[in-house]
Amino acid sequence: MTYFPHDLIKLNEVQHLVNFAELPQWAKDSLLRAPFVVVRRGSQINGQIPVGIRGLLKAQRAAAVIAEKNVAQKISPFQLVQSQKWTFVEKIRQQLPVFQALPAVVPILEPFEWGIGGSCEYELASGVHMVNVNSDLDIIVKHFAKLSVTQAQTLLAKLNQFGVHIDLQVVTGQNGFSLEEFANARSQTVLIKTSSGPKLATDPWQAIQEL
């Protein structure tokens, strides 16, 4: 099975993380509360998958490695959209801006193959309350046809009219870039995230296909 950045993995045994003993206490507590990790960019060799652990606070992030045999379930950002997972969120949580915005952006994103990332993805998959009133809505789009700067600005303006900041990542495999950075056009280059680290590209649409 192939694992991509932003995929969530439910673990069979949290103690079987390669570096479990070295993790900070908050990370161990997070895993015991909900055995979910998010796939990080990086080489996947000999069944070893680089992952990240989320804590309840934004600053709480830790890197880890798991063995593929410890994977109980893989959940992609796109599965959460296909199942409209946000419709199952408890009613009091649906009042949060992110969950209010989600149904509104669905028609705008209908032409695209898109998914949900970040804190919203984690909450929808795990049930742990990670979204708050200040949370962004992270959107992951793959197989994205090239847009001009003007087209990107128009799309983001439509998405950002619902009181929540949309962080849209364009991805191909392990490569990805921020549509907002591209649309802002503040530099001649855009940062591309790759499995071997960040790189700068003048044409990010082409670069994510080639790097």
Across the beta sheet with 197-201, the strand order is 113-117, 137-142, 166-172, 175-178, 190-194, 197-201
Specify whether the CB–CB gap between 4 and 39 falls below 8 A.
Answer: yes
Q: What is the largest CA-CA distance in the chain?
A: 49
The residue from 7, 29, 136, 203 that is catalytic is: 136
| Sequence-ordered strand ranges (E) for 5-47 | 8-11, 36-39
CA 1 and chain centroid, separation: 19
CA 109 and chain centroid, separation: 16
Let me know how long the chain is.
211
Residue 29 bears catalytic tag? no
Q: Would you state the structure tokens that stand for residue 142, as one six-digit string?
A: 């793959």
Q: Would you state the structure tokens that stand for residue 146, as one six-digit string?
A: 């090239």
Residue 136 bears catalytic tag? yes
The residue from 7, 138, 167, 203 that is catalytic is: 138
Sign for the pseudo-dihedral over CA of 74, 81, 204, 111: positive
* Spatial CA neighbour of 166 closest among 113, 101, 122: 101
Helices (H) and strands (E) in the chain, counts: 7, 11
Residues tagged active-site: 136, 138
